[in-house]
Amino acid sequence: MGDGGAETLVIRPARREDVAALAALFAADSLGGHGDSAEPAAMPDYLAAFDRIAASANDRLYVAELHGAVVGTFQTTTITSLSARGSTNMTVEAVQTRGDMRGRGIGEAMMRFAIERAREAGARQVQLMSNNSRVGAHRFYERLGFARSHVGFKL
């Protein structure tokens, strides 16, 4: 990525010490609307969630790091279903690039990394959901080859 190799983006599994940076990344997202907070009082919730993700055999949380700073994140979940003859799918969730770092290929690198992990897991497909208000993100995912295919519901 970047100026003839001058910048090296590292995508790696998230560590517990990354949690504060990840909380700040989500809290800075004005479209997210998830009630995220970088306040110290919220940290126990994030740390408990990190521990549950880390303990899961099917979930992985990643960070994108540039010059030692967390500049992006995403989570993958691998799901095996009896349908489609026992197929495995990968869901990508909570994709976030730090606001001042957008447009530098970080999101694309994270998604390509996730797609490669799906291939390695033998996944039949990679899927994700994106908030209706994130029109730019929709264009981004479509540019990467994702197609709109289902309607999502929440309760």
DSSP states of 44-96 = HHHHHHHHHHHH-SSEEEEEEEETTEEEEEEEEEEEE-SHHHH-EEEEEEEEE
Mean pLDDT to the nearest integer, 131-136: 72
Q: Is residue 151 part of a domain?
A: no
The CATH number given to whatever domain includes residue 22 is: 3.40.630.30
Q: Is residue 154 part of a domain?
A: no
Q: Is residue 45 part of a domain?
A: yes
Q: Is the pTM of this model over 0.85?
A: yes
Q: Rounded to 10 degrees, what is the CA torsion of 103, 138, 59, 52?
A: 80
Q: Is residue 56 part of a domain?
A: yes
The answer to whether 78 and 88 are in contact (CB under 8 A) is: yes
Task: State residue 58's pLDDT score.
Answer: 96
Residue span of the structural domain in which 30 resides: 11-143
What length does the chain have? 155
The answer to whether 22 and 73 are in contact (CB under 8 A) is: yes
Residue % of the chain over a pLDDT of 90: 63
14 strand-pairing partners: none
Two tokens at 1?
Answer: 């990525």
Task: State residue 4's pLDDT score.
Answer: 46
pLDDT for 53-103, tens place per residue?
A: 999 999 999 999 999 999 999 999 999 999 889 999 999 999 999 989 988
The answer to whether 67 and 7 are in contact (CB under 8 A) is: yes
Q: Is residue 150 part of a domain?
A: no
* Mean pLDDT score of the chain: 89
Domain count, the chain: 1
Q: Is residue 122 part of a domain?
A: yes
CA distance 29 to 96: 8
